[in-house]
Amino acid sequence: MVDITRTVEFEENQLYKLKVIVREEFTIDQEKTFSNFQNFDEFKKELNKKLVSFVNQSPAYNEISLVIGQITSMFGNVPVVLPPNYLKK
């Protein structure tokens, strides 16, 4: 399981501060995946190195972007639409 958090806030006017957390559960085909690694610890180490890329390929960021757009468009406001991928600060 991976928790993915995205925070949106406006520093100047403080119109809102929004934090969206999505928990994704991934199922990994052990037969295909672990045949490339000596053991489970080696697999975990490699996965942690590439976690951002792994999560970017899942629908999680799309879902987060959609939720943020829906929440920020409430009451007739213009929605905040964010790119559906990982962004560094």
In angstroms, the CA 19 to CA 22 distance is 10
Which pair of tokens denotes residue 43?
A: 């697999």
What is this structure's pTM? 0.67
Range scoring the smallest mean pLDDT among 22-26, 63-67, 83-87 = 83-87
In angstroms, the CA 89 to CA 3 distance is 18
Which pair of tokens denotes residue 54?
A: 């792994």
Q: What is the per-residue pLDDT across 47-67, written as a single tens digit (0 to 9) for each? A: 888 888 877 777 888 888 899
Q: What is residue 38's predicted lDDT score, i.e. its pLDDT?
A: 80
